[in-house]
Amino acid sequence: MHARVGAEMKEIWVEKYRPKSLDEVVGQDDIVERLRAYSKEGNLPHLLFAGPPGTGKTTCAMALARDMFGETWRQNYYELNSSDERGIETVRTKVKEIARLAPFGGTSFKIIFLDEADNLTADAQAALRRTMETYSKTSRFVLSANYSSRLIEPIQSRTAVFRFRPLKPEAIREYVGRIAKAEKLKVADDGMEALVYIAEGDMRRAVNSLQVAATLGSTIDADVLYKVASTIRPEDVKKLIEKALEGEFLRAREVLDHLLIEYGLSGEDIVRQLHRTVFDLNIPDESKVRLLDRIGETDFRLTEGSSERIQIEALLAHFALIGQDLSKK
């Protein structure tokens, strides 16, 4: 088993099992339906794919190219990443050179996929706007962005916007189940729920976690997944908060130490999981508001470079004070 998985690890499963057509894409039905209409028509405007990472933006662009161009899709699909070279010279040279090339195989246009376009500088975006206009007869641009608001308004107005949502649990279960069957893996029920929790709507994260867990054996359960993904079990996070709210600050601090050592998480990782778990607590909404307000303050301080240990322990101490107020009611 380990030898087989070791060989498969040379190929990243995210790429190996990437949908080959729009019909295979899961979790973005509305978007796929609209893109399929463009494919049948054989024409499309400039597009803007906006949404969180791992929700299918690149996959949909490649699947659209495959459906439109068939066997010649690779010759008519160009992918560039704006985070590598984000200045104006990239647009004036590399992007412009590709845009002016004639389409291959008698097609009327080619697709240029510009990933992470929101990382382009304002000057580069202005140059890109002009390039999109000049070469619209031979090239169609598909821009991908995590934050569409970072793109200048003239570019947004020249594109048809597709907003990708975080994938729902059933979509992740379906796709992961497809990969597990192909790789002859057995994913336990608690393992599948762990994958859904770990993914947070990000299919790439779910597939990568599954692949790493597969190196440890063909049967995958929640314990393995939480360890390889460096994610704390939701029940352990809940226990940490509850101990603090019950006034057992030192006990909560011990739980925190255990989690930090066992999972090797950063302070920001812990704060993010605390934020997710607060909504599942059986406490009044008013107390949840106070907890979230303090979590937000701690997250800001960590981002600014404050000491992780001091800030998280201060957060737990504040939870204990809120717990004292709860016990008086």
Task: Please state, in angstroms and rounded to a whole number, the distance separating the CA atoms of residues 282 and 303.
Answer: 29
What pLDDT, on a 0 to 100 scale, did the predictor assign at position 10? 59
Domains, the chain: 28-163 (3.40.50.300), 167-228 (1.10.8.60), 234-328 (1.20.272.10)
At CA 185, angle to CA 180 and CA 189, rounded to 5? Answer: 80
Least confident of 7-11, 108-112, 278-282: 7-11
Cβ atoms 120, 128 nearer than 8 A: yes
Per DSSP, helices labelled H in the chain are 2-8, 13-16, 29-41, 57-69, 88-90, 96-99, 122-134, 153-157, 169-182, 189-199, 203-214, 222-228, 234-245, 249-263, 267-278, 285-303, 308-328
| DSSP secondary structure letters along 47-60 | EEEES-TTSSHHHH
pLDDT band at 194 (very low <50, low <70, confident <90, very high): very high
Rg (CA), the chain: 24
Task: Give the pLDDT band of residue 308 (cuts 50, 70, 90).
Answer: confident
- pLDDT the model gives residue 2: 44
CA angle 143, 87, 159 (to 5 degrees): 20
pLDDT of residue 300: 94
Per-residue pLDDT tens digits for 168-177: 999 999 999 9
Contacts of residue 275, Cβ cutoff 8 Å, sequence gap at least 6: 292, 295, 299
**pLDDT over 70 percentage in the chain:** 95
Looking at residue 91, its pLDDT comes to 77
pLDDT tops 70 at residue 127: yes
pLDDT surpasses 50 at 204: yes
- Higher pLDDT: 261 or 280? It is 280
* pLDDT per position as a tens digit, 14-52: 888 899 999 999 999 999 999 999 999 989 999 999 999
